[in-house]
Amino acid sequence: MKMKFLATGIGSMPFTDPEQAVDVSLTKVANAPFWPQLPQLAFTEQMVNQFCEGIPCIVVDQENKRIYFNTAGDCRNKLAEFYKKYDAAMNPQTGDGDCAFMKITPEFSRGICAMEKRLQSLGRKLPFVKVQTTGPFTFALTLADEKKRPIYFNDKFRDVATKALAMKCRWQIRKFQPFAERIICFVDEPILSAIGSSAFGLIKREAVVSHLAELIAAIHADHAIAGIHCCGSSDWSALADAGADIISFDAYGFGDSIVLYPDAVRMHLQRGGMLAFGIIPTSKSIREESTQSLEERLEGLIDQLASKGIDRSLIVEQALITPACGTGLLEPEDALKVFDLLDRLSEAMREKYQ
């Protein structure tokens, strides 16, 4: 599939008005709008919290602004019911794909509701609509149990979290399929940049590939395009081996890191995979950038990849452009500039390589 500098977003926005956020998405990334995550709006709309709803033994402590797994009690009945529903939905032979029991309600995402209503009002299909889910590593290494131990290190609940997130992918895909020719679903994994560090040295590459592949398989089950986003350095070959259609990376701050994996990138592109160049900075650096400066930076990174023996035409034909990361922590004015430059750069690069 050839994207050729299609623009889309990573997810979060700093706005507290869902309608404003949807307006920006539909106007600045009109061919691949995304539902906005609004972490400034509510505690439940933050990146990890937004996807915890409905998972067994999760405690949402609004008063103390804490979400955690309570594993101290007898969870057997809750887990048995969870796996029964999981099998009914996700079994490759008999599952019906209905993941509504893992839905995301308005309390946890005003952005999903606002985007769905707006797309309904359009009365036509867009080329793409993008959805997103926090990945199993970022989710399970951020949320902890009642003793504040990351739930990732509990084998039982790590599996539950991974399967629940896979179902949340499918629920979103099916919700937005009526409004697009194809759905793009990103698995957001910022914490992958820390895998292999002293804090997470016990996590092996095989586990990264396996858990990500489980979500990618769920995305593919509904014929959607699967992307994995990491806004730092990572083992990009692991993302390719997991079966991602799109590898999304911070090309502004960490572009050099992907050049270190030329064989993996080459194979990824040759099998039809895509690169999402996060070339629009999501920091105060945005104030110093222009369409021309970012175009030069992007061309320089494409040149680096091509110098490693990667077919330049493949890079160009299978490239997307995104912000480096979410814009949820920016000042609203800076976020608006991010999306304005994203729109302009996408148009400039498409005209250049028409």
Return all residues near 243 (Cβ < 8 A) that are at least 6 apart: 212, 213, 216, 217, 220, 226
If you average pLDDT over residues 171-188, what whole number do you get? 98
Look at residues 233, 339, 338, 234 and name the one whose alpha carbon lies nearest to residue 282.
338
Q: Indicate the Cα dihedral angle 60, 61, 66, 70, nearest 10°.
A: -60
- Cβ proximity of 16 and 331 under 8 Å: no
If you average pLDDT over residues 316-344, what whole number do you get? 97
If you average pLDDT over residues 138-143, what whole number do you get? 96
* Amino acid 185: pLDDT: 98
> pLDDT tens digits for 44-77?
999 999 999 999 999 999 999 999 999 998 899 9
* Amino acid 232: pLDDT: 86
DSSP collapsed to 3 states, 183-203: EEEEEECHHHHHCCCCCCCCC
Radius of gyration of the chain (CA): 19
The domain segmentation of the chain, as residue ranges, is: 6-352
> pLDDT tens digits for 191-206?
998 876 556 667 888 9
Higher pLDDT, 154 or 203: 154
If you average pLDDT over residues 139-163, what whole number do you get? 96
* Alpha-helical regions (H) of the chain: 18-28, 76-90, 110-122, 136-142, 155-176, 205-221, 236-241, 251-259, 262-270, 291-307, 312-317, 332-352
Residue 265, pLDDT above cutoff 80? yes
336-348 burial code (b ≥16 CB/10 A, e <16): bbbbbbbbbbbeb
Residue 163, pLDDT above cutoff 80? yes
Report how far residue 205's alpha carbon sits from residue 217's, in angstroms, rounded to the nearest whole number.
18
> pLDDT tens digits for 202-257?
788 899 999 999 999 999 999 999 999 998 888 999 999 999 999 999 999 999 99
Neighbour order of strands in the sheet with 180-188: 6-7, 319-323, 274-280, 246-249, 225-230, 180-188, 126-134
The two tokens of residue 316 are 């160009």
- Cβ proximity of 348 and 291 under 8 Å: yes
90-103 burial code (b ≥16 CB/10 A, e <16): beeeeeebebeebb
Mean pLDDT of the chain: 95
Residue 271 phi, psi (nearest 5): -90, 10
Report how far residue 240's alpha carbon sits from residue 269's, in angstroms, rounded to the nearest whole number.
10
Residue 202 phi, psi (nearest 5): -80, -10
The size of the chain, in residues, is: 354
Per cent of the chain over pLDDT 90 is 93
- Cβ proximity of 99 and 54 under 8 Å: no
* Amino acid 199: pLDDT: 60
**DSSP for residue 224:** P
What's this model's pTM, rounded to 2 decimal places? 0.96
pLDDT tier for residue 1 given thresholds of 50, 70 and 90: very low
- Cβ proximity of 65 and 43 under 8 Å: yes
Match domain 6-352 to its CATH number in 3.30.40, 3.20.20, 3.30.70, 3.20.14: 3.20.20
